[in-house]
Amino acid sequence: MARYLLAAVSLLVALAGATNGPDEDGKYTISAEGIRAQFIPYGASLTNLFINDTSGTERDIVLGFDNATFYTEDTVHPHYGGVPGRYANRIKNSTFVIDGEEFHVDPNENGGADTLHGGSNGWDHRNFTVVSYTCDSITFSIVDPDGEQGFPGEVISYITYTVKPYEWDLKMVALATTKKTPIMLSSHVYWNLDGFQNPDTTNTDNHTLHLPYSGQRVGVDNILIPDGTILPNQQYSVNDFWSSPKQLGANLTSPDIHGNCGFNCSGYDTCYLVNRAQNGPYDWHTAPVASLYSAFSGITVDVYSDQDAFQIYSCPGQSQAGIPLKKTQGFTDGSQPRWVQDYACVVMEVEDWIDAINQPEWQRDAKNIFGPGDPAYTLEAVYKFTVDDDAKNSY
Ligand SMILES: *[C@@H]1O[C@H](CO)[C@@H](O)[C@H](O)[C@H]1NC(C)=O
Ligand SMILES: *[C@@H]1O[C@H](CO)[C@@H](O)[C@H](O)[C@H]1NC(C)=O
Ligand SMILES: *[C@@H]1O[C@H](CO)[C@@H](O)[C@H](O)[C@H]1NC(C)=O
Ligand SMILES: *[C@@H]1O[C@H](CO)[C@@H](O)[C@H](O)[C@H]1NC(C)=O
Ligand SMILES: *[C@@H]1O[C@H](CO)[C@@H](O)[C@H](O)[C@H]1NC(C)=O
Ligand SMILES: *[C@@H]1O[C@H](CO)[C@@H](O)[C@H](O)[C@H]1NC(C)=O
Ligand SMILES: *[C@@H]1O[C@H](CO)[C@@H](O)[C@H](O)[C@H]1NC(C)=O
């Protein structure tokens, strides 16, 4: 009897293992027509995203590492594909005030001048729990205790990723269960729509970006801390991605690009505002806030989001860290380096106005500070992929 029971249990475990566990690299795979995505519990991170390009070749179009264990071992910690939390981007002087009480959080950047992505043990340094996993969806959860990194109160969050034909969706929910606390999440994916397999270039300077609602951006100091100003992205200026689509590298030779991403930095690390309400009520599902396109692969990603800002980081100086490419990317014949080059990627972050907790005159507390009696913090985004059939003719 016990023998039969054991056999039955083994069979169940084997069946469950076939669909319900990570692969040997620690990755969880979900797929739908035209798309396959992989995730790990560390930071609830997207590690791989496969799309067939214009010639039918499968490209892995996001940066990541080969296996789950390396995310904890890697000392550079580029926040690959994870969820920065509980407060994404920078907090000025690692300080904020809620109801007259001053809080100090872990100062993990610029020699202790500020906090980046929730501190040295922010959410994308922690293993989330997998709470559900099907063939086309995965949900992660995290319980962030009161006082962790200096933040007041407990926060409980669920991150759900779903794929549909040629589409990746994300939904994030967070609840402040005990005290008022800042919450701002994002998705920190590094894109290279050529999968680092464009023989003519290692970089994304030739990717075309359009931010149709982003006529303004958040003004920052030389360590990228918001200074309270909202700046105009005048037409034809280096930060104009709204008036028409433009290649990411189009203005790299302009003197105006120098210092645009902080001290002595040429490129983008910029929080663009997404202004949609001026034309009346809108449905965020109907028009993308950003589109990124590469003529080499013919792949376009259109990003739809309910968020009011959109960060672009163009990977200046990225080669210094010597971060390895995945085995699913790049070339193995020695024709290009096996580590990430400068301007080889672009991070696109759906988010709210950064460091709004330190700019009360922006009047965004309802979207930045959450307490037990308040509505939940939510963030939704949809990434739709299309492939240009004609692109290969131009190559
Ligand atoms: C790419 O095309 C191949 C061949 O048709 C197919 O097996 C594979 O699943 C496709 N990849 C994706 C991500 O759809
Ligand atoms: C995990 O990935 C890293 C980085 O690519 C690599 O150096 C390491 O050998 C891999 N480990 C295993 C067990 O595959
Ligand atoms: C996260 O899980 C990985 C295995 O996937 C393990 O190697 C690592 O030590 C864990 N990291 C932390 C910070 O718990
Ligand atoms: C920065 O925070 C420290 C406490 O960590 C405080 O003493 C100091 O006054 C703050 N500086 C500014 C400019 O707000
Ligand atoms: C990048 O775009 C520029 C301007 O359109 C073009 O001159 C150049 O050949 C392109 N480079 C590559 C590697 O595609
Ligand atoms: C930026 O590039 C665009 C497209 O090539 C061009 O129209 C614009 O004049 C450039 N702006 C600057 C400041 O160089
Ligand atoms: C500015 O950046 C350039 C190029 O990366 C570098 O050669 C130079 O040393 C930097 N200057 C300063 C003052 O950091």
In a domain, 133, yes or no: yes
Q: Which of 172, 189, 206 is the last residue of a domain?
A: 189
In a domain, 63, yes or no: yes
Question: Do 180 and 152 share a structural domain?
Answer: yes
- Please answer whether residues 306 and 378 qualify as being in contact, where contact means their C-beta atoms are separated by less than 8 angstroms: yes
In a domain, 104, yes or no: no
Question: Do 352 and 216 share a structural domain?
Answer: yes
Q: Is 258 in the pocket of ligand 6 (CB under 6 A)?
A: no
pLDDT tens digits, residue range 87-117? 999 999 999 999 999 999 999 999 999 999 9
pLDDT tens digits, residue range 164-215? 999 999 999 999 999 999 999 999 999 999 999 999 999 999 999 999 999 9
CA triple 305-314-159, angle to 5 deg: 35
Question: If pLDDT is split at 50, 70 and 90, which confidence band does 16 have?
Answer: very low
Query: Which residues are registered as beta bridge partners of 221?
Result: none
Instruction: Determine which one of 188, 207, 210, 351 is catalytic.
Output: 188
Question: Do 350 and 305 share a structural domain?
Answer: yes
Query: Which single residue is written with the structure tokens 């929910």?
Result: 173
* 301 token code pair: 């990603």
In a domain, 366, yes or no: no
Question: Do 293 and 172 share a structural domain?
Answer: no
- Please answer whether residues 28 and 39 qualify as being in contact, where contact means their C-beta atoms are separated by less than 8 angstroms: yes
Q: Please, how many CA atoms are within 13 Å of residue 52, restricted to the half-sphere of its CB?
A: 10
* 361 token code pair: 């005159």
In a domain, 377, yes or no: no
In a domain, 247, yes or no: yes
pLDDT at residue 19 in the model: 58
Question: Do 64 and 153 share a structural domain?
Answer: yes
- Please answer whether residues 39 and 129 qualify as being in contact, where contact means their C-beta atoms are separated by less than 8 angstroms: no
Question: If pLDDT is split at 50, 70 and 90, which confidence band does 389 have?
Answer: confident
pLDDT at residue 14 in the model: 44
Q: Is 166 in the pocket of ligand 2 (CB under 6 A)?
A: no
* 90 token code pair: 């920078």
Report how far apart the first and last C-alpha atoms of the chain are (Å, whole number).
Answer: 67
pLDDT at residue 20 in the model: 77
In a domain, 106, yes or no: no
Question: Do 200 and 160 share a structural domain?
Answer: no
E strand or H helix that includes residue 6: helix 2-20
pLDDT tens digits, residue range 281-339? 999 999 999 999 999 999 999 999 999 999 999 999 999 999 999 999 999 999 999 99
Q: Which of 189, 223, 255 is the last residue of a domain?
A: 189
**Cα separation, 4 vs 17, whole angstroms:** 20
Residue 287: which domain range?
A: 191-359
Question: Do 125 and 18 share a structural domain?
Answer: yes
Which residues have C-beta atoms less than 6 Å from ligand 3? 26, 42, 68-69, 72, 126-127
Question: Do 165 and 298 share a structural domain?
Answer: no
- 3-state SS string for 37-104: EEEECECCEEEEEEEECCCCCEEECECCCCCHHHHHHCCCCCCCCECCCCECCEEECCEEEECCEEEE
Specify the residue with its C-alpha closest to ligand 4, atom 3.
93
Question: Do 270 and 148 share a structural domain?
Answer: no
Q: Is 74 in the pocket of ligand 2 (CB under 6 A)?
A: no
Ligand nearest to the CA of 168: 1
Question: Do 180 and 206 share a structural domain?
Answer: no
Rounded to two decimals, the pTM is 0.94
Question: If pLDDT is split at 50, 70 and 90, which confidence band does 390 have?
Answer: low
How many helices (H) and strands (E) are present in the chain, helices listed first?
A: 2, 25
Q: Is 285 in the pocket of ligand 4 (CB under 6 A)?
A: no
Instruction: Determine which one of 109, 154, 349, 351 is catalytic.
Output: 349
- Residue 336: which CATH number? 2.70.98.10
Question: Do 277 and 135 share a structural domain?
Answer: no
Ligand nearest to the CA of 323: 2
* 240 token code pair: 């104009």
Report residue 371 CA to chain centroid gap: 25
**Cα separation, 114 vs 110, whole angstroms:** 7
Known catalytic residue at 188: yes
- Closest ligand 6 atom to Cα of 237: 13
Q: What is the CA radius of gyration of the chain?
A: 21
Question: Do 125 and 231 share a structural domain?
Answer: no
Number of domains, the chain: 2
Percent of the chain with pLDDT over 70: 94
- 3-state SS string for 185-228: CCCEEEECCCCCCCCCCCCCCCCEEECCCCCEEEEECCCCCEEE
Q: Which of 147, 168, 189 is the last residue of a domain?
A: 189
Other Cβ atoms less than 10 A from the Cβ of 364: the count is 17
Known catalytic residue at 258: no
In a domain, 32, yes or no: yes
